[in-house]
Structure 1
Amino acid sequence: MYNILILEDDHIQLKTLSEIIKQLGDMYQVYEATNTTEAFKIASQNAIDLFYVDINLKNESGFKFALEIRKIKRYRLNWIVFVTIYKEYMLSAFKKIHCYDYIIKPYNKKQIQRMTELLMSDGRAQVAVTEINEKFIIVPIKNIEVKIFVNEIIFVEVFIRTSIIHTTNGSFTIDYLSLKKLNSMINDKNILQSHRSYLVNIKYISKIEKTNNKTSYKIYFYNTDKTALLGNNYKKRIMERFNNVVDEEING
């Protein structure tokens, strides 16, 4: 039996989500809460395996509820999925509290059922530990401390006082954070400086081409159509590492 708690203050949405999960079978016990007081009470009286939390409660914060739940020892690693109408920054921001994912309203029945079955599978505990042990940095974005996993960083570009971190989960803009500081924070062997304004992740480079400027090259990546520059001063090191990665992929 898996215990699932839904925190949603819209009664129609609450019942809809609850019914979608109940259709998976009797092994799923669904608890419903319309406010954080009810949710905390249910969580204290029952061992909840998975939380579905509406981030946009009318008079409360679903995000704050999740932060408080994480302070309870028994819920330090349990899965939390946020329900929201907003997409921007959601996944990376919520990883701060080891949130698995988020779903966008209106609900997609198949997506919710597939996600619920996946998280309640036998491998869920190992997946949680693996995610938490991954290297990350925390940066301030729009007054939110956002957790970005280093292995998801494709490249970083800096213009004057603004840094943009391009990741597999989107791009994040940070003010007043220098390339030197970011490089120190990231401190990863696969992420190297390629230009006075760029850091690149060797693992995501698809190709390197010369530009019209004789002293610079353009770097292309998997997972994004954005590009970075490779300066002549950084060319040797980047090219050596890139060629080594290609050789490793070819030779297995």
Structure 2
Amino acid sequence: MRVGIVEDNRMIAQSLLSLVRAIDGECEGETWETAGEALAHAKERQVDLFLLDIGLPDYSGFALAEQLRAMENYVTTPIIFLTAMPGDALKAFRAYHCYDYVVKPFDTRELAELLRPLMRRSSKERVCIRQRGFTVRLHPEEIIYVEACQRKLLVWTRQESVTVSTKTLKEFHQGLPSYFIQCHKGFLVNRHAIQRLDRKNGLIYLGDPMPPIPMGDRYRDRFQGDWL
């Protein structure tokens, strides 16, 4: 899983990073000192859990949480606020639907007990791709589209492609969330990644650096509402 730690105190940030890695040795933890930096990275790569300091140099953790909640792929992502002000708790729960809050200075053991079930749950939600000799784990939101090609599947993220030779497109689709749509006999697409439909030419645009992918005639009725 990927944990995003937004904390301008480097000593606290490193302490939190060490803690999440101790809980899950496979965890990808990243630290950012400003809200703007965290938001930019969160748009590029999916984050499974946020630890947000409320008092940040550029703007508040509350404002960052509001920006994250406005993004479809972060509506339900767990957020834990870090604060030196216990009075911030009610606002955190009501306005930003945070999972919990931690008052500084925090107790490491108590924080570990809070994080452990969250991190286990998020790890289970990942798509596990097992190939000969290695395993790749992807968060579903990282997957932009899946392409069937010469009896194999190519699973595309914005950073890489992963080859799957053990499942058909239909079988792989069954293991994905409902926001994945079959758009062509050989393609699945993450509806959250769609930026534009070209109905005239039968193309789906997904933004840089992805190429447009085809939309088959028999699948066009699946694209309604947002893209009309």
Instruction: Give the TM-score taking structure 1 as reference length.
Output: 0.46
Residues 89-168 of structure 1 aligned to structure 2 (within 5 Å):
90-95=88-93, 96-122=95-121
Higher strand share: 1
1:56–1:91 distance in 2 versus 1, CA, 3 Å? same
What is the SS of the residue equivalent to 1:9?
coil
Deviation string 1:70-94 (CA, Å, 9 cap, x unpaired) is 0000000000000010101x33211
Cα RMSD of the aligned pairs, angstroms, is: 2.0
Between Structure 1 and Structure 2, whose CA radius of gyration is higher? 1
Q: Which amino acid in the other structure matches residue 32 of structure 2?
A: A
Deviation string 1:125-178 (CA, Å, 9 cap, x unpaired) is 9xxxxxxxxxxxxxxxxxxxxxxxxxxxxxxxxxxxxxxxxxxxxxxxxxxxxx
Q: Provide the C-alpha distance between the structure 2 equivalents of 1:36 and 1:83, rounded to a whole number of angstroms.
A: 13
Gaps (5+ residues) in structure 1? 126-252
Q: Which amino acid in the other structure matches residue 54 of structure 2?
A: I
Q: Provide the C-alpha distance between the structure 1 equivalents of 2:31 and 2:123, rounded to a whole number of angstroms.
A: 23
What is the SS of the residue equivalent to 1:113?
helix
Displacement, 1:46?
A: 1.6
Q: Provide the C-alpha distance between the structure 2 equivalents of 1:111 and 1:17, rounded to a whole number of angstroms.
A: 12
Q: State, as a whole percentage, how many aligned pairs show the same letter.
A: 25
Partner of 1:48: 47
Aligned length: 123
Q: Provide the C-alpha distance between the structure 2 equivalents of 1:67 and 1:22, rounded to a whole number of angstroms.
A: 27
Displacement, 1:37?
A: 2.0
Q: Which amino acid in the other structure matches residue 104 of structure 1?
A: V
Partner of 1:128: none
Gaps (5+ residues) in structure 2? 125-228
- Compare 115-124 and 43-52 and name the one that shifted more: 115-124
Displacement, 1:123?
A: 8.6
Q: Provide the C-alpha distance between the structure 1 equivalents of 2:123 and 2:92, rounded to a whole number of angstroms.
A: 18
Instruction: Give the TM-score taking structure 2 as reference length.
Output: 0.50
Q: Which amino acid in the other structure matches residue 89 of structure 2?
A: L
Deviation string 1:224-246 (CA, Å, 9 cap, x unpaired) is xxxxxxxxxxxxxxxxxxxxxxx
Q: Which amino acid in the other structure matches residue 93 of structure 1?
A: K
Q: Is contact 2:80-2:101 (8 Å) kept?
A: yes
Q: Which amino acid in the other structure matches residue 16 of structure 1?
A: S
Displacement, 1:65?
A: 0.4
Q: Is contact 2:35-2:56 (8 Å) kept?
A: no
Q: Provide the C-alpha distance between the structure 1 equivalents of 2:62 and 2:121, rounded to a whole number of angstroms.
A: 27
1:4 matched to 2:32? The reply is no
Q: Is contact 2:34-2:57 (8 Å) kept?
A: no
